[in-house]
Amino acid sequence: MGEGLGHKTRRYYRSEEDLRQFYFNLKQMPCPHCRSIGTLIMHGYLYGYDENAFNKKIIRGRRIFCNNRKKHKPGCGRTFSVLAVNMLKNFSITADSLWQYLTGLLNITNKTNAFISLKFTLSISSAYRLWKRFSISQSRIRSYLVRLCPPPECPDTPCAGIQTISHLASAFPDSSCPIAAFQQRFQVSFL
């Protein structure tokens, strides 16, 4: 899962095959909390709600437990999650939908209209919450993106958000969802 990350703990997986590889490597992986190696075990599913149906449960990822019940070399007993790469931490909207929303902004200047035009079931307040969250995360997002390529020239765009969206698109030109590609590549939350 991801390349050149050294001993950083993986946080996202792109497929069931990728997840199998992650499980296979668990024994050599350090716990993100206590750094112990050999203590991590699977700890069930991480559920959430479908972005299009608030009463429909979906699997967002898996929980991993740092086993503190082992007699020899016990772990710290804490857990962490690995998410499917199309999931966004703390939001029910998927990376795909967020990308549609953000790229919609390239053509429509009014954020509410961009959201309505995509016929999301989320509320307008969610649209502003997402935009605010994205705005706060931008400098961090860009600091990752410059590792892949310089920001594209956007002389006509004073809006920093639109520059970041363009930068994402040029950093992952072959991906249908650069946000998911970002999470997979850097193994960090986009927002």
Residue numbers at the binding site for Zn ion (CB under 5 A): 31, 33-34, 66, 75-76
Closest to Zn ion by CB, 56 or 78: 78
Q: How far is the CB of 121 from Zn ion (least distance, A)?
A: 38
Q: How far is the CB of 68 from Zn ion (least distance, A)?
A: 8
Closest to Zn ion by CB, 75 or 178: 75
Closest to Zn ion by CB, 29 or 114: 29
Q: How far is the CB of 33 from Zn ion (least distance, A)?
A: 4
Closest to Zn ion by CB, 65 or 172: 65
Closest to Zn ion by CB, 62 or 185: 62
Asked whether the beta carbons of 43 and 65 are under 8 A apart, the reply is yes
Q: How far is the CB of 78 from Zn ion (least distance, A)?
A: 5
Q: How far is the CB of 44 from Zn ion (least distance, A)?
A: 17
